[in-house]
Amino acid sequence: MKHGNISAPLKNANMKDFLLTFIYPLFASIAVIFINNQIEHKKSRKSEKVKLRDNVLLIEKKVSTFHMCETYDSRSAIDVSTDIKRLGKEIKILINITPFYEKPFERYQKAKKNYRPILKAFRQAATNDNFQRSSFKQQQQNSPIIKKISSSSNALVDFIENNI
């Protein structure tokens, strides 16, 4: 009997053992890692969306408080403007970090195009009317300016929750 001559059943058994021992666990591990990354990404994304929503609501509160003050507060006006600019950057970043394997990828492409008008409407509602020292007048809770701010804030929150 010559050494090195392996019969066919022995080859199949070794291949089967090799597949069961090394290849299948390797693919299973890769699949588990990929799935865990997707789960973590979704958790992270949801957390970022909650932060954005909370920021919008905080800015709405600041803007409403600014407009309902008895006197013009230049520090609050600067803070509101800065907060809205920062919010726009945060939204853009969250939209742009969408991974390619997200199923509704087209939704994120659409969100890239559509977030600017909604953010602009929010910014304009907050800063166009009654935002300059020379034209400032104290507003009441049910004034058209406060209602417009609230409405545009709600539209932005809806956009964040449903499109990002």
Question: Do 73 and 90 touch, CB atoms closer than 8 A?
Answer: no
Please state which of the ranges 34-48, 50-64, 131-145 shows the lowest mean pLDDT.
Answer: 34-48
Max distance between CA atoms of the chain, in angstroms, equals 106
Q: What is the pLDDT of residue 52?
A: 95
Q: What is the C-alpha to C-alpha distance for residues 23 and 17, in angstroms, rounded to an integer?
A: 10
**pLDDT band at residue 65 using 50, 70 and 90 as cut-offs:** very high
What separation, in Å, do the N-terminal and C-terminal C-alpha atoms of the chain show?
70
**Torsion angle of the four alpha carbons 104, 106, 112, 113, in this order, in degrees rounded to the nearest 10:** -140
The more confident residue out of 100 and 61 is 61
Fold of 45-163: Four Helix Bundle (Hemerythrin (Met), subunit A) (1.20.120)
| pLDDT tens digits, 18-32 | 767 777 888 889 999
Domain chopping of the chain, boundaries: 45-163
State the pTM of this model. Answer: 0.77
Position 91 pLDDT exceeds 70: yes
| pLDDT tens digits, 93-122 | 888 876 655 556 677 777 878 889 999 999
